[in-house]
Amino acid sequence: MIESVGKPIDRVDGRLKVTGAATYAAEFPVKNLAYGVSVLSTITKGRVKIVDIAQAKKMPGVIGIMTSENSMQLHFPNASDPGGGKFAEKDLLPLQNDRVFYGGQHIAVVIAETFEQAEHAAATIKILYDEQAPVVGLEKNIATAYKPGAGLGGAETQTKRGDAEAALQTAAVKTDETYTTPVYHHNAMEPHATIAEWKGDELMVYDATQSVMGVKGLLTSMLGIPAEKVRVVALYIGGGFGSKGFTWGNTILAAMAAKQFNRPVKLVLSRQQAFSAAGRRTQTIQKLALGADQNGKLSAIKHATTSETSFVDEFVETAGVATSMIYSSPNVDVSHELVRLNRGTPCPTRAPGEAPGTYALEAAMDELANKLKLDPLQLRLINHADMEEQKKKQFSSKNLKECYQRGADAIGWSKRNPTPGVTREGKYLVGYGMATATYPANRSASTARATLFADGHAEILCGTQDIGTGTYTIATQIAADAFGLPIDKVKVKLGDSMYPKGAQSGGSQVTASVGPAVRAAALGAISKLIDLAVSDSNSSLHGYKKGDIIADNGRIHLKSNPVKAETYTQILNRNGLDKVEAQAKTNVSTRAQAPTPAPAGSPEAKAEEESKANAAVQADEKTDRTPYSFHSFGAQFVKVLVDPDLGTIKVDKIVGVMDIGKVMNLKTATNQIMGGMIFGIGMALMENTQYDPNNGRVVTRDLAQYLVPVHADIPEIEVQFIDKPDPYISPLGARGIGEIGITGITAAIANAIYNATGKRVRDLPITPDKLI
């Protein structure tokens, strides 16, 4: 049978999605449902004196109103939550006290029979505050900057090797500039939505989340109920881009309200509310200095980032996280500082760290190339990192030079005029730009269960979720190959915390983490089937060696003689079995922390036990990964046209060539990279959230004010893959692909604009006013 992995097969959930049959969190038909509408703070800092609900209480359809006066008490989220969940604001559990830390914070929730009634009543609630002067504006408060702890996943925030400062002093050529990026909001199409329903002491939650397991863990600890009483379901997710990676107030508030008013409750944040109550990317101020010798060899890289966080949690936008490993340089100094502002808490956003960080670094590389009178591509080749110099490790697999070459060919790099601002196509100035893309290849522990049924079909269960990236499809392909079945005989079920624990959808890790577990579980089921056959005197395969038998197209047969075969159905029927089942847990992590063994007695512990006899798991776990550093790389190339009189910018073509290991599905992979590149267009040219300079509250908070690219902004996009398996990441050879597409692209666009106009804009977004 032909392998399905790698093939550009259509999404298995595509039809459900385009016909509206896919059920998203807010769409589950729950009987007797009540509707919640949240009322948010309209001051930036202070205390709530009175929430006047007198009028609202009496309005038609109102069931009740939850405020800090009457809401249930929450427990602090478990710091090492077993589900891996993170409550976004650890010091602001919703409705627990009267304090206001930012504009647009949950103050009350109205529950009514219909959404319209809840909305109407919510609008009548008057809140009296004790207002205090808020801390507004990053630049204005830069003096209060402090050095934060570790970043996401334990990422180091202060990294050094050699002496960058000294090397900069003596460098023959250097650039030292400040690059700034604004606040970005994720703006996934699906809102932040939750339905919570209690049945006795059992809680059922439908949630728009990137981690059903994380939400389950958080609800368990915050509500103080046993894990087995909580179930979280997210069958389809309409994008998260990081915003649904952490858990926000709406999820917990829905569960609280459902308990308090003894009704299932749906709570959905409006687009406007999500601009304060559901995360964002922070602003960054990045000082980037590069030093090089006359030939362009880097002697120093210094990358100092100041960003902001809220007063209720610490989130570091680790813009410098890739800087220490992306190029070869003996001296590197990466640092991060944070300023606390009265704004909602930031969270991971579309390649947190790398997206703004590669903008600054790759724009600086362009500036350096210009000073050296070197081709920017040449400068990258001169400074290519053959090994990971910070950790002093080899890369597990790296084909970046080939990415550069293929990208340059595809865009027509040879047509680039090194002198900026002089090349025209009609009335437009033409420019070419490029940049390096990179993202770490994360992998973490995952568990999956595989079942082969006597009717010849198979099923995979895994408590991960498909946030729109194609996980259902890829898991189906991987399982089909391992089961030896065509893809239409394999049903993959995800997005339910009842299933064995899978990875959370963040850090581009799902394919690398869940894929091997799915494969191992399916191989485990086949192995059990072979055991049944070889030990059964009624089987034609009786007595043969297990290792001489393979699975293919619904049958197992002798490798040497395909006619000596039995179908899965024959074997199961003869043994009076309706199915054979296996679970596998792959305990592999490329992250900073080592994987933790499952707690004794937990479902994962059982899977761990069974995995000891699973040859695929054993081979995978025994691979020695310590000598390697796992990263994906790529090259982004851009051609732009700029109208010099009006300052309007048209991205004419973009090419991304990515080295992400083995491509599991060309269609979904191309999709992911394209999406990332389009994010990059948004980030470079239009996206930004504005806060009022006087009171610090969000001003631009809908999709008419917060611009994302529309079709007319999207040029021809070419995506290519190197498609060489990474021999160390997993038996599948696939690293993640989710986020690398947005890295480098913003700088490539900015560099192309410089090449077109001779104007270096170091403050994103690059809008017409900055070019005239």
Partner 1 sequence: MEPFKLIRVQDNQAAIHAAGVTRTKFIAGGTNMLDLMKLNIETPKQVIDINKLGLNKIEELKSGNILIGALVKNSDLAYHPTIIKNFPVLSEALLSGASPQLRNMASVGGNLMQRTRCPYFYNTDFACNKRVPGSGCAAIDGYNRNNAILGTSDKCIATHPSDMCVAMAALGAIIHVQGIKGVRTIPFTDFHLLPGQTPHIEHTLKQDELITHVEIPALPSGSKSHYLKVRDRASYEFALTSAAVVLNIQNGRIKNARLALGGVGTKPWRALLAEKVLIGAIANEQNYRTAAAAALSQAKGHKDNTFKIELAKRTLVRALITTGGMS
What count of Cα atoms within 13 Å lies in the side-chain half-sphere of residue 470?
Answer: 26
Does position 123 bind partner 1 by CB under 8 A? yes
Binding segment for partner 1 (CB under 8 A), chosen from 118-126, 137-145, 373-381, 499-507, is: 118-126
**46: alpha, beta or left? (left if phi > 0; alpha if psi -120 to 50):** left
Among 597, 699, 716, 727, binds partner 1 (CB under 8 A): 699
Q: How far is the CB of 278 from partner 1 (least distance, A)?
A: 17
Written as six digits, the tokens of 671 are: 């999709």
Touching partner 1, residues 265-294 (CB under 8 A): 272
Q: How far is the CB of 109 from partner 1 (least distance, A)?
A: 18
> For residue 551, what are the contacts with CB-CB under 8 A and spacing of at least 6?
483, 484, 526, 529, 530
Among 686, 734, 752, 756, binds partner 1 (CB under 8 A): 686
Q: How far is the CB of 279 from partner 1 (least distance, A)?
A: 20
- The count of residues interacting with partner 1 (CB under 8 A) is 36
Q: How far is the CB of 257 from partner 1 (least distance, A)?
A: 21
Cβ closest to partner 1, residue 394 vs residue 767: 767
Q: How far is the CB of 690 from partner 1 (least distance, A)?
A: 5
Could you give the CA distance from residue 580 to residue 753 in angstroms, rounded to a whole number? 60
Written as six digits, the tokens of 41 are: 């703070």
Written as one letter, the residue type at 265 is V
DSSP element (H, E) containing 766: none
Cβ closest to partner 1, residue 39 vs residue 503: 39
Q: Position of tokens 């581009």?
A: 508
Cβ closest to partner 1, residue 117 vs residue 396: 117
Does position 120 bind partner 1 by CB under 8 A? yes
Burial class (CB in 10 A: 0-12, 13-18, 19+), 528: middle
Phi/psi of residue 486, nearest 5 degrees: -70, 155
Site string for partner 1, 84-113 (x = CB under 8 A): -------------------x----------
Is the CB of residue 83 less than 8 Å from the CB of residue 218? Answer: yes
Q: How far is the CB of 149 from partner 1 (least distance, A)?
A: 33
**Which residue among the candidates 89, 190, 608, 739 is catalytic per the annotation?**
739
Written as one letter, the residue type at 581 is E
Does position 165 bind partner 1 by CB under 8 A? no
Q: How far is the CB of 767 from partner 1 (least distance, A)?
A: 6
Can you name the residues that pair with 338 across neighbouring β-strands? 146, 307
CB atoms within 10 A of CB 140: 12
Written as six digits, the tokens of 544 are: 């043969």
Does position 694 bind partner 1 by CB under 8 A? yes
Touching partner 1, residues 31-50 (CB under 8 A): 42
Could you give the CA distance from residue 627 to residue 284 in angstroms, rounded to a whole number? 34
Cβ closest to partner 1, residue 422 vs residue 646: 646
Does position 609 bind partner 1 by CB under 8 A? no
Among 3, 693, 716, 727, binds partner 1 (CB under 8 A): 693
Burial class (CB in 10 A: 0-12, 13-18, 19+), 15: exposed
Does position 619 bind partner 1 by CB under 8 A? no
Does position 697 bind partner 1 by CB under 8 A? yes
Cβ closest to partner 1, residue 116 vs residue 488: 116
Q: Is 338 helix (H, G, I), strand (E, B) or coil?
A: strand
Cβ closest to partner 1, residue 158 vs residue 705: 705
Written as one letter, the residue type at 174 is K
Touching partner 1, residues 702-721 (CB under 8 A): 702, 704-705, 707, 709-713
Burial class (CB in 10 A: 0-12, 13-18, 19+), 411: buried
Cβ closest to partner 1, residue 26 vs residue 565: 26
> How, if at all, do strands 284-292 and 298-309 pair?
antiparallel
Does position 685 bind partner 1 by CB under 8 A? yes
Can you name the residues that pair with 436 across neighbouring β-strands? 635
Does position 30 bind partner 1 by CB under 8 A? no
Could you give the CA distance from residue 234 to residue 228 in angstroms, rounded to a whole number? 17
Site string for partner 1, 640-669 (x = CB under 8 A): -----xxxx-x-------------------
3-state helix, strand, coil in the chain (%, to 5): 30, 25, 45
> For residue 610, what are the contacts with CB-CB under 8 A and spacing of at least 6?
524, 582, 583, 584
Cβ closest to partner 1, residue 119 vs residue 156: 119
Q: How far is the CB of 267 from partner 1 (least distance, A)?
A: 18
Does position 214 bind partner 1 by CB under 8 A? no
Among 700, 758, 759, 761, binds partner 1 (CB under 8 A): 700
Is the CB of residue 616 less than 8 Å from the CB of residue 585? Answer: no
Does position 133 bind partner 1 by CB under 8 A? no
Could you give the CA distance from residue 750 to residue 760 in angstroms, rounded to a whole number? 8
Q: How far is the CB of 425 from partner 1 (least distance, A)?
A: 17
> For residue 155, what are the contacts with CB-CB under 8 A and spacing of at least 6?
316, 318, 321, 353, 592
Can you name the residues that pair with 440 across neighbouring β-strands? 631
Binding segment for partner 1 (CB under 8 A), chosen from 11-19, 61-69, 134-142, 639-647, is: 639-647
Is the CB of residue 208 less than 8 Å from the CB of residue 244? Answer: yes
Could you give the CA distance from residue 516 to residue 595 in angstroms, rounded to a whole number? 15
Cβ closest to partner 1, residue 25 vs residue 771: 771
Among 119, 293, 375, 536, binds partner 1 (CB under 8 A): 119
Cβ closest to partner 1, residue 584 vs residue 698: 698
Cβ closest to partner 1, residue 455 vs residue 702: 702
Q: How far is the CB of 115 from partner 1 (least distance, A)?
A: 10
The question of whether 69 is a catalytic residue gets the answer: no
Is the CB of residue 319 less than 8 Å from the CB of residue 385? Answer: no
Q: Position of tokens 């869940």?
A: 514
Does position 2 bind partner 1 by CB under 8 A? no
Does position 185 bind partner 1 by CB under 8 A? no
Q: How far is the CB of 702 from partner 1 (least distance, A)?
A: 7
Binding segment for partner 1 (CB under 8 A), chosen from 14-22, 116-124, 191-199, 222-230, is: 116-124
Cis bond before residue 765 (omega within 30° of 0)? yes
Cβ closest to partner 1, residue 395 vs residue 691: 691
Rg, Å, the chain Cα set: 27
Contacts with partner 1, residue ranges (CB under 8 A) = 42, 103, 116, 119-120, 123, 272, 645-648, 650, 685-686, 690-694, 697, 699-702, 704-705, 707, 709-713, 767-769, 772
User: Which residues are catalytically annotated?
Assistant: 739
